[in-house]
Amino acid sequence: MSQSIYWQSETHNPQTRIPLKRRLRTHLARGLRPLREFLGKVVKHPELSNVDAAARFKAWQLEGDYLEFGVFTGRTFVEAYHSIKSEERNRNRKEWRTKFYAFDSFQGLPKPKGVDVYYEQYAEGAYAATEHLFRSNLVRHKVNLDDVVIVAGFYSELLKPERQEQFENVNAAIVMIDCDLYSSARDALNFLTDKLMDGAIIIFADWYVFRANPQLGQQRAFREWLDLNPQFKASQYFSIQGYFTRAFNCIASFPSTASESQHPISST
Ligand SMILES: C[S@@+](CC[C@H](N)C(=O)[O-])C[C@H]1O[C@@H](n2cnc3c(N)ncnc32)[C@H](O)[C@@H]1O
């Protein structure tokens, strides 16, 4: 049947207006809609998370460690572990011995003080989960504990310069700062100063808490740390997931030029 005859008959007979193939396809699509909607709810969104993006970046060029400050029951830690391991496998980095450091009090938040009480958003002891629970969640989710170093205690004590001997071999490639308070982020960043690799990615899970006020929380801690450490420049990296998160690459600075006299957080 030529195209013109086909269209002609179609106008005369409403039954043949839509070709059979297309009608079947429409019925099938209609029938499958509930299944599609259900899958859309339960299957992980195919977009990359910040952790996935950082894991790819690392597998490409950074042979170093993953450090998480604020692990709670282990949700983000487990996600990062599998994401990093899978990217390293994909890029044939089997010889890499990435270590995964977990820093937490396992007693919840310390008592908020100073700027951390401004909005009374956080209470002492919030997010308390035991080390035992964290460890068993890792085992349940198939994390190899030989790759993991668990460091228990409050950062104000744990991360003091005089206690850093045990961390001499740490090379921070990806850092997750998920410990809510300004004071906790400040202590974590000071600890990291001589451990960050050139190009390391820092993911601030709580960048926009405290009503996104730049004078508070992680935004304040990061700005102060950059001011104290002009050897680093921060370049905003990949930030798509969550209402609160933002990720930066910390790039060791090059000899200064006139244009580098600007503020160290660039928006490139
Ligand atoms: C919001 S939870 C972390 C959530 C976790 N990343 C997850 O995926 O579920 C915050 C964690 O930071 C820890 N934390 C905050 N400040 C701390 C500090 N100064 N010293 C030790 N742990 C701290 C708390 O114990 C808590 O487990």
Q: pLDDT class for 61, splitting at 50, 70, 90?
A: very high
User: Which of 67, 73, 109, 133, when mutated, tests ligand 1's pocket best, judged by the most ligand atoms within 8 Å of its CB?
Assistant: 109
Q: Which atom of ligand 1 is nearest to the CA of 176?
A: 6
pLDDT (0 to 100) of residue 161: 86
Which residues have any ligand 1 atom within 6 Å of their CB?
70-73, 75-76, 104-105, 108-110, 127, 154-155, 178-181, 184
Which residue's CA is minimally distant from atom 24 of ligand 1? 108
Closest CA to ligand 1's atom 13: 70
Ligand 1 centroid from CA 179, angstroms: 4
Protein residue whose Cα sits closest to atom 25 of ligand 1: 108
Q: How far is CA 30 from the centre of its chain?
A: 37
pLDDT score of 204 more than 90: yes
Examine the pLDDT at 266 and tell me if it is beyond 90. no
In the chain, list all ranges with CATH 3.40.50.150: 50-266
Task: Tell which atom from ligand 1 comes closest to the C-alpha of 153.
Answer: 21
Q: Could you tell which of 178, 181, 209 is best to mutate to test the pocket of ligand 1, judged by most ligand atoms within 8 Å of the CB? A: 178
Distance 268 CA to ligand 1 centre (A): 30
List pLDDT tens digits, range 136-174: 999 999 999 999 999 999 999 999 988 888 899 999 999
User: pLDDT-derived band of residue 7, with 50, 70 and 90 as boundaries?
Assistant: very low
* pLDDT recorded at residue 5: 35
How many residues comprise the chain? Answer: 268
Identify residue 62 by its one-letter amino acid code. Answer: L
The greatest distance separating any two alpha carbons of the chain, rounded to the nearest whole angstrom, comes to 90
**Contact at 8 Å (CB) between 105 and 154?**
yes
- Fold held by 50-266: Rossmann fold (3.40.50)
Predicted pLDDT at 44:
54
**The pLDDT of residue 56:** 93
pLDDT, greater one: 67 or 268: 67
Give the C-alpha separation, 202 to 195, whole Å.
12
Going by alpha carbons, the residue nearest to atom 6 of ligand 1 is 71
pTM of the shown model: 0.81
- Quote the CA–CA distance of 214 and 103 in Å, as a whole number: 25
Higher pLDDT, 238 or 268: 238
* Nearest-angstrom CA–CA distance, 136 and 74: 9
